[in-house]
Amino acid sequence: MTTEATAATTLLSRINDRTATVGIVGLGYVGLPLAVAFAQAGFRVIGIDIDQTKVDALNRQESYIEDVASTTLRALRAPIKDGRLTFPINDGHPTFPIAATTDFAALAECDAVSICVPTPLAKTGDPDMSYIIAAADQVARYLHPGMLVVLESTTYPGTTTEHLLPRVEAGGLKAGQEIFVCFSPERVDPGRTDWTTVTTPKVIGGVTETCLEMGLALYGAALETLVPVSSTEAAEMTKIFENTFRAVNIGLANELLLMCDKLDIDVWEVIDAAATKPFGFMKFTPGPGIGGHCIPIDPLYLSWKLKSLKATARFIDLADEINSGMPAYWVQRVQDALNEVGKPLRGSKVLVLGVAYKPDTSDMRESPALEIIHQLQAKGAVVSYHDPYVPSFRHDGLDMECVRELADALTCADCVMIVTDHAGYDWSIVHAQELLVIDTRNALAGLA
């Protein structure tokens, strides 16, 4: 039997009988739900993260992200005994515990590892590959024959073959023969309950056909639907296109808002009317900008890649220009509204409602509220905020706490700015105050 057949057969056997150990590098909003999914499917799971706080919380079965309940973690049997990472023998129970550690040496015990680390943009606008490279170097250090390595971090097409593959092959083990390498982009939408890590279709591409076979076997044992593609580059491009589609269409909706503002047309009326068409139209709405880790950032990976090839991504660049300019547009709306009632923005009390980037979550990554607050303060406004999900935050010189009493804050405000339309807000109360309100989300629709 060939080396490839032996490695593949052994790995498949361990996956099928659930004796495989799965490692998850990065225990954030992507890695932790994935770890839970594999544990619930009967795999022994070891989570690795450089954040000791996360590791300690997970080993206490305490969740630190909204999409995983602590009760879910407690339902997985405790992995810690005498201070060591220990697991019971698989005795027919349908779940296994998740052990967490900061020690990458635990990778030596793993048959498969999924890399779920951040991929931010550097201040220069270039993709920051440092987290992926650091994780790949650690995996390569503890790599062994028969191991499957899957990159889940969203990144530009070619990352798997340019950065991950050379590192894991540097020791002499070849992908598709002794080891197996895939890319399978995360599709997590924080706060959703209808589509989860388990139920959302999972795209996956392999460096070779055998790599893809191993990846499909592992993920197919824990997730409901798999979507195989021909290569890691195709899988990488799929994720970038998904988020570019949203960024461009949100940019179009935001530009429609700017045009309707000039033409004195109600943009929300136009969008709602257009959305009645049962075919050929998908509803997107304008707002204060775009937030989250994916939509503001992922399309720029592709734009950067094309620039390196002396090409341009014109739709992406234009959408980014429009979306990035929305905070300034709304701040100007606040200033103009105050001027109309004889008040300058400087010295006026502006209450921002909602600072998370999307409703009903505490996630503030790339939230447009942050830029809005910065710009308001730069113009001399006295800014406070209320958000039921964010008791306090620090960001780039901002150090703010949520106002304790919303009713009192509404009474004191010269202007209220609705940035995040959390479902828990009673908009009728805001409307009843007869305040000067700048509504970036059309939250007060129907209350006039």
Asked whether residue 79 falls in the same domain as residue 91, the answer is yes
Catalytic residue among 260, 294, 412, 415: 294
Q: Which pLDDT value is given to residue 421?
A: 95
pLDDT tens by residue, the chain, 448 residues: 455 668 999 999 999 999 999 999 999 999 999 999 999 999 999 999 999 999 999 988 899 998 999 999 888 864 444 444 445 444 454 566 788 999 999 999 999 999 999 988 777 777 889 999 999 999 999 999 999 999 999 999 999 999 999 999 999 999 999 999 999 999 988 888 899 999 999 999 999 999 999 999 999 999 999 999 999 999 999 999 999 999 999 999 999 999 999 999 999 999 999 999 999 999 999 999 998 877 878 888 888 888 888 898 898 889 999 999 999 999 999 999 999 999 999 999 999 999 999 999 999 999 999 999 999 999 999 999 999 999 999 999 999 999 999 999 999 999 999 999 999 999 999 988 888 999 999 999 988 6
DSSP notation for 170-209: TTS--BTTTBEEEE------TT-SSS-TTTS-EEEEESSH
Phi, psi of 81 (to 5 degrees): -140, 125
Looking at the fold, whether 196 and 317 belong to one and the same domain comes out as: no
Q: Identify whether residues 221 and 286 lie together within a single domain.
A: no
Is residue 294 among the annotated active site residues? yes
Distance CA 36, CA 142 (A): 23
Q: 162 and 175, same structural domain?
A: yes
Q: Say what the pLDDT of residue 2 is.
A: 55
Query: Does residue 302 sit in the same domain as residue 364?
Result: no
Instruction: Quickly list H helices, 359-417.
Output: 368-378, 406-412
> 377 and 395 in one domain?
yes
The residues that bridge with 48 in the sheet, in sequence order, are 25, 101
Sign of CA dihedral 385, 387, 391, 396: negative
Residues 24 and 69 in one domain: yes
Q: Could you say which DSSP state residue 24 is in? A: E
Are 320 and 330 contained in the same domain? no
> CA 418 to CA 372: how far, in whole Å?
11
Give every CB contact of residue 400 below 8 A, 6+ residues apart in sequence.
373, 383, 384, 385, 392, 393, 394
Q: What is the DSSP letter of 108?
A: G
From the CB of residue 114, how many other CB atoms can be counted at a distance below 10 Å? 27
Residues 396, 269: one domain? no
Angle at 422 between CA 271 and CA 277, to 5 degrees: 20
**Residue 84 has what pLDDT?**
41
Measure the CA–CA gap between 170 and 167, rounded to whole angstroms.
Answer: 5
User: 337 and 292 in one domain?
Assistant: no
- Domain containing residue 155: CATH number: 3.40.50.720
CATH number (domain holding residue 247): 1.10.1040.10
Q: What angle do CA 64, 395, 333 make, to 5 degrees?
A: 115
Strands 84-85 and 98-101: unpaired
Domain, as residue range, for 249:
233-324
Per-residue tokens: 356: 């998370």
By CB atoms closer than 10 A (0-12, 13-18, 19+), residue 405 is exposed
The last residue of one of the domains, among 183, 204, 230, is: 230
Q: Which of 235, 225, 234 is nearest to 200 (CA)?
A: 225
Judge whether 177 and 213 are in contact, CB under 8 Å: no
Look at residues 195, 230, 265 and tell me which one is the last residue of a structural domain.
230
Q: Do 313 and 198 fall within a single domain?
A: no
For the chain, the domain total comes to 3
Answer whether 191's CB lies under 8 Å from 66's CB. Answer: yes
Where among 278, 303, 324 does a domain terminate?
324
Domain match, 223 and 297 both? no
